[in-house]
Amino acid sequence: MNRRTALAAIGSAGLGLLATKLLATELSMAPTDDRLTTTLAGFSEKSRERLIRIITAGDYSGRIPPTEAKAICDAEGKTADAVMLGLLPLAKTYARPPISKYEVGTLVRGLSGALYLGANMEFPGHSLGFSVHGEQSALSNAYMHAEQGVSAIAVTAAPCGHCRQFMNELAPDIGILVQGKPSASLSILLPQSFGPKDLGVANSAFPIREVNLQLNNDSSDELSRAALEAAREAYAPYTKAYSGVAIRTSSGRIFKGAYIENAAYNPSLPPLQTALSSLVLSGGNFSDISEIVLAEISRAPISQKRVAEAVWGTIAPNVRLRSVILKT
């Protein structure tokens, strides 16, 4: 059975073993060394070696540190904007779009000078609303690394309206770079925008403002504490439904995801998708996941549990999603 036939079968049969197998192959493939070398062909040998060393490090997390980013710019004799555009093919290697087959790569530059990769992700058998857009991936990557703010984003294609709205929440003054097109500010691409101030919220998502939350029971294991930390970092000014996810892989690495809300509601990014994006951008595989915890406050106007369980049932049906309750 080829991929096209498999997708057609998923469309007619819904969720099931076939969807799980397709996800295992489509969503769990880290870029190989050979593909990295080809993808970075536009860089000098010195810069390629530097980038491959960064990407293949055991603690790599989809982030190129400021000193490394500057060293690459100096070695190539290029501006940060030009290097970001040159790294877009690398970012695309992390894309997981089994439905659309349309790969999106993105890079965000933080105020620290660090570069954060991002890529799109889709989930067969579920609503397209569960998808992670490339811009969401890169911005949430910077957010989860506690950047104070971001100044620019490079994208393989012009951002869609959904992503422009998401950017408006996190970085309304961000500059947008697209290969072969003049740079533009978000205000040009999203004039007369609707945003936080329209709902009485003065601050944007950056920088993180931790919320004082505690576990509501005796759960004190490492993964529950990591989910609590992620929930404390959540940006949810409209619903106050703070939530976070922590994923542990078989190697012992833990990936956290915070809920990132949006004034337009629909572009909000669930904590599970934030954590899964972090896992993929680190070169991780879904098949490596061994444990997951969702932490959220009780009696909030919305809950992430059922949505997370639905997605999780396709990604890792043999791994139980554990929920813990938080209190303010």
Active site residues: 135
- Which residues, 6+ apart, have CB-to-CB distance to 65 below 8 Å? 54, 114
Query: Which of 129, 98, 111 minimizes the C-alpha distance to 24?
Result: 98
The one-character DSSP state at 87 is: T
Q: Give the distance from CA 304 to its chain's centroid.
A: 17
Give how far Cα 193 sits from Cα of 161, 199, 260, 267, Å. 11, 12, 19, 14
Asked, as a colleague might, if the bond just before 207 is cis with ω within 30 of 0, I would say yes
Q: How far is CA 85 from CA 91, 107, 174, 196, in A?
A: 10, 8, 15, 30
| CB atoms closer than 10 angstroms to residue 56 | 13
Packed helices 271-281 and 134-144: angle between N→C axes, nearest 10 degrees: 90
Q: Residue 289, SS3?
A: strand
Contact 37, 84 (CB under 8 A): no
